[in-house]
Structures are given as C-alpha cells and as structure tokens.
Amino acid sequence: MKTFCLLSVLTLVGTCATPKYTARIQSIKDNIKINDSAIVTKYANTITSKELKKHLYQFASAEFEGRKTGEPGQRKASEFLKTYYTNQDVKSPLPNNSYYQSIPESHFSNNIKESENVLAIIEGTEKPDEVIIISAHLDHLGVEKNGSINYGADDDGSGTVALMEMAEAFEQAKKDGMGPKRSILILHLTGEEIGKKGSDYYVTHPIYPLKNTVANLNIDMIGRVDKIHNNNPNYIYLIGSNRLSKELHYISEKVNNTFYNIDLDYRYNDEHDRNQYYSRSDHYNFASHGIPVIFYFNGEHEDYHQTTDTPDKIEYELLEKRTKLIFATAWQIANQDHRLLLDDKNQLLN
Ligand SMILES: [Zn+2]
C-alpha cells in the first residue's frame, strides 16, 4: 500500500486519497455480498474447541516424535491424517484414494528422506475446477540430541487440526446438500521447517492447475497469544491479504465483521517489516505464482521452536474462533457468484 501511494505521487496519477480511488475501493466493498450467513454459522458451529483439543493432543503427542520431515514420526503423522479423512469420508483427489502426494528424496537436501503432502478434497457442486486451497504444514523439528521432543503444538499442530475440523464442516454441509460451489482442497504440507519444500513441490507439481487455483488461505500457528496481545487476546495477524487482490482483503474484513469481530492486526503485512513473515511460510510459494493468499498467524511467543511448544498451552476457545473465521472466509470465496478477482483484472479498480 505504501509503495502504491508513493508511485502514484511520483507518476502524478493521483494518490490513494483521491475521491476516485476511494470510490473504487468503496465499489469493491459494496460488491461483496455475504452468502448464506445462517448456513455458514450452522456449519462453522460444528468446529469446536473440544474436538480441536482432542485432535491436537494426538497430533502433538510423543508418538509422532516431533514430525521431522522424512522420519518415522512424520510418516506416522501423515498416516494419522489419512486415517482421519478416510473415517470422515472426505475424499482424496489422488489415484487409489492414497491421499499422499509423494515427494522424492531428490527434492530435498541434507539427507532428508522422501516424504509426502497429504491432500483431501471437498469437490465443488457447480464449479469443481475452481479450487480454494486451505493449507498448514504437518512437519516440525523432530527430536533434539538430548532426546527432548519438539512437539510443535502451535507450530503447526494448531493449523493442522484447524484443517481437520474445517474439512469435516465442509463435508457435512455437502452431505446436507449445501456443499461449496467451488472445490476446497485441504492441503497438509511437509517440509516447511526445512525451507517450504512441500509447498514448493506442490506448486511445481500441482494436482489442480494453478490457473484454476482461486486463493490460498495458509495457517501457521493460530493457537496462542503473543506478548503484544496479552491484554486483548481476541486478535489474529493477517499477512498478504491485500497484495494481489483487494477484493480478497475486503472479503476477509466483511466476513469477520459479519460473524466474529476478531481484531485483524496487519502490522506484519507492512512490506518493510523486518520480520518479513510474508515470505516465511508456505503461502509465499502460491503468491509467487500470482495466487492471492492470506497468512493467518498468532505471532511468536516464548515457546516458538522450543520443546516447550506443547498442547496444554494452547488457547482452545481462541483456536476455535480463529478457525471459524477462516472457515467462513473460505465459504465466501467458494460460494460467491464470481471468481475472486486479481487486482489487474478487476474492472472496479482499473
Ligand atoms: Zn510453522
């Protein structure tokens, strides 16, 4: 946004504050009609803190040995997800109901062994070729030399269990005849902690053509509260929402204002922010291919990348509320009349 203002002044096209620009933004906002709000609430309410907690105590348990990419603990975590989707009757988009997108050892370095992304699909009822990807990484840091396990409950167990609950909610809606018009791809990515390798593999070997991929909502840590928000935990950081599609940004805001009223904190979306979170999780590989993204993030905390990132420290009510927000945002993108518009193709902006 800052860059845009600066360029506009330099090129004398006008600044962000001109009435014309403001009117264009207003027309984007006015054009967003929230779909089926009672139905969204009904299915969002199937996402519960109780179930999120149950899943996370399993996923972030010692059994999965810190889920290091290519190691037995990570393979067990993938198997856990596959079993869940099989039992929930959420289909695999891959042949033979495998749920696995295998990634060969050659894609990794440093002796990392072969691994896999885990995929499940809720096929759209009207425009199945248009796909919204909801993603989170399934891998973590493994076991320390002294034997301590990196449980990764927040990173990214929180995102993983959010995906499990959202898949269940969309699948239930579909069984009731209320399935999403566009397809929802649930994408559990491996290799994030070793350089976003799972998402890098997906975008170079996409299961659905990237040109039909409407948006990526990526979750990496949404179960905790950082120091900045100790006194007002009803927040989430959003990063990237306005970079490629202003429409996505205003959809996200309108959905939040309609349903959940979470404080959407954009401080890390500043292009000059020194943390550069925009480029630091899996959504970046989608954004690099021109796909609009939102990255959902609770910020860093004292247990970030420590063996003390355990499930007892997760705020489950908050995790539920944030998951519902992401679910409702995906519902809107999947069900609105027109496909989400990139800014350069949005007639309301140009
Ligand atoms: Zn992470």
Q: If DSSP states are collapsed to H, E and C, what string results for the chain?
A: CHHHHHHHHHHCCCCCCCHHHHHHHHHHHHCCCCCCHHHHHHHHCCCCHHHHHHHHHHHCCHHHHHHECCCHHHHHHHHHHHHHHHHHCCECCCHHHCCEEEECHHHCCCCCCCEEEEEEEECCCCEEEEEEEEEEECCECCECCCCCECCCHHHHHHHHHHHHHHHHHHHHHHHCCCCCCEEEEEEEECCCCCCCHHHHHHHHCCCCCHHHEEEEEEECCCCCCCHHHCCCCCEEEEECCCCCCHHHHHHHHHHHHHHCCCEEECHHHCCCCCCCHHHCCCHHHHHCCCCCEEEEECCCCCCCCCCCCCHHHCCHHHHHHHHHHHHHHHHHHHHCCCCCCCHHHCCCCC
- Mean of per-residue pLDDT scores for the chain: 94
196 Cα–ligand 1 center, Å:
10
Nearest to 74 by CA among 84, 59, 87, 88: 59
Share of the chain above pLDDT 70, in %: 95
**Is 10's pLDDT higher than 90?**
no
Distance (Å) from CA 287 to ligand 1 centroid: 17
Could you tell me the distance, in angstroms and rounded to a whole number, from the CA of residue 159 to the centre of ligand 1?
9
- Tell me how far the alpha carbon of residue 222 lies from the centroid of ligand 1, in angstroms: 10
CA of 131 to the centre of ligand 1 (A): 23
Backbone angles phi, psi at 71, to 5 degrees: -90, 165
pLDDT score, position 176: 98
Cis ω for the linkage preceding 156 (within 30 of 0)? yes
Sheet holding 235-239, edge to edge: 100-103, 115-122, 182-189, 127-137, 213-219, 293-297, 235-239, 263-265
The answer to whether 310 touches 151, Cβ cutoff 8 Å, is yes
Residue 210: per-residue pLDDT: 98
**CA dihedral of 81, 83, 86, 89, whole degrees rounded to 10:** -70
How far, in Å, from the CA of 157 to the mean position of ligand 1?
9
- Ligand 1 center–CA 282 separation, angstroms: 9
pLDDT at 12: 45
**In the beta sheet, which residues pair with residue 119?**
187
Strand partners, 118: 100, 188
193 CA to centre of ligand 1 in angstroms? 7
- Ligand 1 centroid to Cα of residue 117, in Å, is 15
Tell me, in angstroms, the distance from the centre of ligand 1 to residue 94's CA.
25
Q: Give percent above pLDDT 90 in the chain.
A: 90
Judge whether residue 86 has pLDDT over 90: yes
Q: What spacing in Å lies between the alpha carbon of 190 and ligand 1's midpoint?
A: 11
CA of 42 to the centre of ligand 1 (A): 30
Give tens-digit pLDDT for 244-301.
999 999 999 999 999 999 999 999 999 999 999 999 999 999 999 999 999 999 999 9
CA 156 to ligand 1 center in whole angstroms: 5
Q: How far apart are CA 92 and CA 100, in angstroms?
A: 8
Beta-carbon neighbours within 5 Å of ion ligand 1: 155-156, 220
Span from the CA of 68 to the centroid of ligand 1 (angstroms):
12
> Tell me, what's the pLDDT at 17?
60
Length of the chain: 350
Distance 13 CA to ligand 1 centre (A): 40
Position 8 scores a pLDDT of 43
- Inform me whether the pLDDT recorded for 33 exceeds 90: yes
What is the Å distance from ligand 1's center to 152 Cα?
8
Does CATH place domain 36-345 in 3.40.630.10?
yes
**What is the CA(109)–ligand 1 centre distance, in A?**
19
CB 236 within 8 A of CB 262: yes
How sure is the predictor about 16, in pLDDT bands with cuts at 50, 70 and 90?
low
Cβ-contact 74, 64 below 8 angstroms: yes
- Helices 159-175 and 37-44 pack at an angle, to 10 degrees, of 120
pLDDT tens for residues 292-328?
Answer: 999 999 999 999 999 999 999 999 999 999 999 999 9
275 CA distance to ligand 1 centroid (A)? Answer: 14
Query: Is pLDDT of 37 > 50?
Result: yes
Q: How far is the CA of 7 from the centre of ligand 1 (A)?
A: 34
Average pLDDT rounded to a whole number, residues 332-345 = 95
Q: Which amino acid type is present at position 263?
A: D
Lowest mean pLDDT segment, chosen from 3-7, 59-63, 189-193, 338-342: 3-7
pTM of the model: 0.94
Rounded average pLDDT over 90-119 = 96
User: Rounded to the nearest whole angstrom, what is the distance from the C-alpha of residue 280 to the centroid of ligand 1?
Assistant: 9
CATH 3.40.630.10 location in the chain: 36-345
**Mean pLDDT across the stretch 24-48?**
95
The residues pairing with 149 across neighbouring beta strands, listed in sequence order, are 143
Question: What tokens appear for 333 in the block?
Answer: 């993108």
Q: What is the pLDDT of residue 3?
A: 35
